[in-house]
Amino acid sequence: MGDGVMACGNATKDAEFKRLGDKNTPNAKWGMAVGKNADDSTVFVNCEAWGRLANYAAGIKKGDPVLVFGQMRSHEYNDKTYHTLVADFVQFIGGTTERKQEPQQAGPENGFFPDMDSEDLPF
């Protein structure tokens, strides 16, 4: 296992979701455009997620800003070397796409908790 790699960028296409192997293991693949090099060129990264993380990553849509942390893997094919960031962590970091969110716990109506006397505090 090598050093971890973190990439933050925009998805270049919708994630492709498949179930692979005898155990139907979830797999999601997508591409990302990441920042710019010193010469102002964008770096394109292939990303892949497995298992439960693949179920989450399957929701990635083209243009979504995404943060990915994982391990860089390389393989050769037809005398070319290809690099894939195999995700250990994926996080949507905003954007205009509406996402289904878990209901939040109800809190105080105005977003603040009531004032308490210092004698009421447990510390």
Q: How far is CA 79 from the centre of its chain?
A: 30
Whole-number pLDDT of residue 64: 94
Q: Establish if 60 belongs to a structural domain.
A: yes
pLDDT tens for 34-87 read 886 667 788 889 999 999 999 999 999 999 999 999 999 988 989 988 889 999
Q: Establish if 17 belongs to a structural domain.
A: yes
Q: Establish if 61 belongs to a structural domain.
A: yes
Supply the CATH number for residue 27's domain.
2.40.50.140
Q: Residue 97: is it exposed, middle or buried by C-beta count within 10 angstroms (0-12/13-18/19+)?
A: middle
Amino acid, single-letter form, for residue 9? G
Q: Establish if 19 belongs to a structural domain.
A: yes
Q: Establish if 118 belongs to a structural domain.
A: no
- Residues β-bridged to residue 89: 69
- Total domains, the chain: 1
Determine the length of the chain: 123
Residue 30 tokens read as: 């997508």
Q: Establish if 94 belongs to a structural domain.
A: yes
Parent domain of 85: 4-103
Q: Establish if 27 belongs to a structural domain.
A: yes
Query: What's the mean pLDDT when you consider all of the chain?
Result: 81
